Amino acid sequence: MKTVRVKNSSIILREIHKKYLPSEKEINFKVGDYVKVHQKIVEGDKTRIQVFEGQVIEIHGPKENIFFTVRKEVQGVGVEKTFRLNSPIIEKVEFVRHPLKKPRRKKLFYLRGG
């Protein structure tokens, strides 16, 4: 049996993403913006929508597979979740507001404190 070498595996991954992921959603927010992420939660045979509201601290990944991280504080404890934009679990991402000052960095890890 002859083995075939693939020079660029990212081309194959792009084709898989196009075929199996839902249609591409648009990003209507930037790093630093406050958003509401409507996420589908399945518990047993019931499905509900849970909203996670916070500030976007990071957007990364290639065009077909964008990830973004949202941070909020609950009772003085920081909570972060990373979402895939084109995931079927994400119902919608709703823009809330811009930050008071425009961030000057691509990733706002300084909001974590410490």
User: Would you say residue 112 lies in a domain?
Assistant: no
Q: What sign for the dihedral angle of Cα 40, 95, 66, 101?
A: negative
**Tens of each residue's pLDDT in the chain, 114 residues:** 666 666 677 777 777 767 776 566 778 899 999 999 999 999 999 999 999 999 999 999 887 788 999 999 999 999 999 999 888 899 999 999 999 889 998 999 988 886
* Residue 23, domain member (yes or no): yes
Domain membership flag for residue 107: no
Contacts of residue 26, Cβ cutoff 8 Å, sequence gap at least 6: none
Are the C-beta atoms of 60 and 73 separated by less than 8 Å? no
Output the pTM of the full model.
0.78
Number of domains the chain contains: 1
Domain with 72 in it: what CATH number?
Answer: 2.30.30.790
Inside any domain, residue 108 = no
On whether the CB atoms of residues 52 and 37 are closer than 8 A, the answer is yes
Classify residue 11 by burial, with Cβ atoms within 10 Å: 0-12, 13-18, 19+.
Answer: exposed
Q: Is residue 83 domain-resident?
A: yes
Rounded CA-CA distance 64/61 in Å is 8
- 93 burial level (CB within 10 Å; 0-12, 13-18, 19+): buried
Domain ranges, residue 48: 9-101
User: Does a structural domain hold residue 94?
Assistant: yes
Is 1 within a domain? no
In a domain, 106, yes or no: no
> What token pair was written down for 39?
């996420």
